[in-house]
Structures are given as structure tokens and as C-alpha cells.
Amino acid sequence: MASKAMAMCLAALLSCAGCATGSANTKGPRLEGSKRKSPKLKRPAELFAILERSDRTYYSSTLDEYDGDLPFDFLDSLFPRRDAEHAFPWIEVDGEKRTLVEFRVIPEAADAVNEAEAHFQKGEYEQAAVCYRRAIDAQPDCYIAFMHMGDCFMFRQNPMKALQLYDEAIRINPWDFHPYLYKGNALAALGRFQDAKEAYIDALARMPRRDSVLKCAGQRAAEMGVEVRTKLFDPQVVIQEKKDGSIWFYAGDERGLGPVWLAYGACKAVWLGEPEHRKEMGCEHSIYSSLESIGEQGVFGGWAGHLHELEDGE
């Protein structure tokens, strides 16, 4: 399908859609990610005009006709996040400005947490809890120590005490999804499944589609009276640039959402194939880079290992 024909096809699909590759300007507090002003959204007619003007040829097809190897996880493989994930996210507030940063731990507290982690990894949970308490004494707002001390009590079969510590971690830092996840597990252990459901929802609100949260919620879905669909909103599109310079995109039709993914793929195809459009949107990257390894983030590497083990249910 050539560019002009594709535009006509997409016009039928997107006549009421707000297809865009830019960001909308919003009022009020916002997370600070870039100093530049966000470009306005592209309307469908503007997107189609880009396709019609293009020297490239664009083709669309179904995912069944893709002749390459499909990735196991579309979301992470095809549309990875550009920025590295914060192991312990914190929101700095300055008036109406919100900035996402890594939580800062003072050296005395960090030393105590490192000592606690050594005990925790050996299964010495009582000794680990003592060290976490030392970290809290050194830095009362060290929510990481509250959270990990709660894990010690969970492993000692005391979910009630663990719940109290998770709640304190949430009170200090409501931005990190981890204590909500662990709170959900503690509530489930206490048989409070409706409260556990709310905690898992809170976790997903802060880290959408997180596999560990979906896994834990899925294990307790029957008791909570819910159905957990883990891949419902994951992209089902493959974008490919051929040797002749043409751009192909293949869209899946899971749950009858083929037209939606076709439209989504068209936006991604224009981004890949049109450097001037990317420049107009304020970015010259044709694709996003993969997440950096959390283990490379210095002192947080070992602590993140603790998080990963618990998220994996170990």
C-alpha cells in the first residue's frame, strides 16, 4: 500500500482519533523531564499529510504475515523506555514543579542498610531488622529501611507487623510502587483480599503493567474477585524498515483491536521514517534505547537485588 492509499485507509480508521507523536500541554504541576516546551499534538489530517508528502513508501499488513522472529514481549522489545528506571524513586517538590529523582540516603544509613542486606541474604532476618533500625535512627525518613524491615517480619511469618512498616514506608514516600506491592502481599496473608486488591491497584497506578504486581495479583485473583489480564494494553505492532527504504508495519488483532494497533503502528512508522517530523517534535532519535541495568546504579545495585527477589516471589 503506497503512502496516499495508506492515508485514505487510516483516515477511515482514525476519523475521530487524536493520533499523535507529540505531547499535550497541560496546566498545573507536572513532572520535570525536559526544559523544552512540549510540541502540540498532531491531528489525523496532519499525520496523513506527512504520509502523502513523503518520498518513502509505507505498507501495512497483519502480524500473521510478518516473516521475522516475533519478540517474546512486544512492550519491552519494540517500545522500551528511553530513560533508566529509578530503583527507589522520589519526587522533589519545588512550588508547582515536580522532579523525579533517585531517593537520597545519607552515608550512615547506607552503611547500616548494606549490613542489613548481608544478613537478609543469609536468611538472618532478626539481625537484619536490627541493622535496618539503625538506618532509621540515622535517617528517620529512610523509607527503604522501613520497607525492607517489613520484609524481615514477612519472612518471620508476622504479616501484621510487616503491614505497619509498609504503611510507614508509604507515608514517607507515596511515589514508589514497591511498598504498595508488599502491602498487598501482607494483606493477602492476613486474608484481607479486598484491601489487598486496592494495594495492588495503587502499585499499578505508580508502575503500570509491572509483571511482579500482575503476577501477585493474578495468584490471588479468585479471592479478590477479579480477572487479571496481563497483556491487554501491550502494543501488538512490528515496525520494519526494508532495504529499499520502505517502511512496513504489521499489526495484531488480539481481542478485535486490529484497527487500534494499525493506527498506533502508523504513528510509529511516521516517527521512524520521517526525520523532519522527529526534529519538529524535538527529538532526533529514530528509536528509544533500552532500559539501563539497575545493577549498574552504584550502591543501589544490591538493594535492588533485594527488591527483585521479593518481586519474583523468592
What are the domain boundaries of the chain? 3-79+235-280, 94-230
Q: How much is the average pLDDT of 109-126?
A: 96
C-alpha grid cell, residue 206: 505508580
Given this structure, which CATH class describes domain 94-230? mainly alpha
Residues 240 and 78: their CA atoms lie apart, in Å, by 11
Q: Note the pLDDT tens digit of each residue in 218-268.
A: 999 999 999 988 766 667 788 888 889 898 888 887 767 777 787 778 888
Quick one: pLDDT band at residue 280, thresholds 50, 70, 90?
confident
Q: What is the pLDDT of residue 127?
A: 98
Confidence at residue 5, expressed as pLDDT on a 0 to 100 scale: 42
Around Cβ 253, how many Cβ atoms within 10 Å? 15
Chain-centroid distance of CA 40 in Å reads 24
Grid cell at residue 155: 519472612
First to last CA, the chain: 50
Higher-confidence residue: 291 or 211?
211
Residues 6+ apart with CB under 8 A from 138: 106, 108, 109, 112
Give the helix/strand (H/E) hosting 195. Answer: helix 193-206
Do the Cβ atoms of 249 and 240 come closer than 8 Å?
yes
User: How many Å separate Cα 37 from the centre of its chain?
Assistant: 23
Q: What is the pLDDT of residue 196?
A: 98
Query: 128-155: per-residue pLDDT in tens?
Result: 999 999 999 999 999 999 999 999 999 9
Q: What is the pLDDT of residues 14-61, one digit of tens each?
A: 444 444 444 344 344 444 444 555 666 777 677 777 878 898 998 888
